[in-house]
Amino acid sequence: MSFMNHVRTVAKEALERTSIIAKFLCCLHFTGNYLCSPTHAYGPSMLPTLNIAGDVVLVEHLSPRIGKVGYGDLVLVRSPLNPNRNLTKRVVAMEGDTVTYFDPLNSDSSRIAVVPKGHVWIQGDNIYASRDSRHFGPVPYGLIKGKVFFRVWPPSSFGLLDN
């Protein structure tokens, strides 16, 4: 085998391997951004549904894109106060609904809010330790990143999450 044939063979093999890696990375990107991805949910706001120390959950990203998020769904939302953070909360009202809630700053008085078009009202399951729509109002539907549907960690709680 001549030197040039050897170079061609090595170059062809390198191109084939590069192509496989590129296809894998494209598939990984598509799956993680448009189908399903894992995320770490932690803090006291979703007790008792999620653990305070943190759970690793799977989030499917297709439902919000096709408008299939509804009452009782556990959702991953980009924080309206800090876009670098994600929140895991439950959808308790949809556009057009009227919500009566207690003002977190003044527990003696209740407030009423109407959820505007294109928005949802989210709250944590632990209403005493949750920063949610009671603090920052209705959340635009576009901030919903996905529906949380499965817990993968800790192993003792492995399985589907109920609405």
The pair phi, psi for residue 101, each rounded to 5°, is -145, 160
pTM of the entire predicted model: 0.77
Query: Is the residue at 5 inside a domain?
Result: no
Q: Report pLDDT digits (tens) over 132-162.
A: 998 888 999 999 999 999 998 888 888 888 7
Write out the catalytic residue numbers.
Answer: 45, 89
DSSP-assigned states of every residue in 90-125:
EEEE-TT-EEEEEETTEEEEEEEEEPPTTEEEEE-S
Task: Please report which helix (H) or strand (E) contains residue 72, including its range.
Answer: none
Query: Is the residue at 9 inside a domain?
Result: no
Cα distance between residue 113 and residue 108, in whole Å: 17
Query: Is the residue at 60 inside a domain?
Result: yes
Query: Is the residue at 76 inside a domain?
Result: yes
Kindly indicate the confidence band of residue 3, based on its pLDDT and cuts at 50, 70 and 90: confident
- Report which of residues 126 and 163 the model is more confident about: 126
Please say if the pLDDT value at position 107 is more than 70: no
Q: Could you tell me the CATH number of the domain that includes residue 52?
A: 2.10.109.10
Domain count for the chain: 1
Query: Is the residue at 23 inside a domain?
Result: no
Q: Report pLDDT digits (tens) over 17-60.
A: 998 999 888 888 888 888 888 889 888 888 888 888 889 999 99
Query: Is the residue at 20 inside a domain?
Result: no
Q: State how beta strands 106-114 and 55-60 pair.
A: unpaired
Query: Is the residue at 98 inside a domain?
Result: yes
Do the Cβ atoms of 120 and 139 come closer than 8 Å? yes
Query: Is the residue at 3 inside a domain?
Result: no
Enclosing domain of residue 140: 37-160
Do the Cβ atoms of 75 and 65 come closer than 8 Å? no
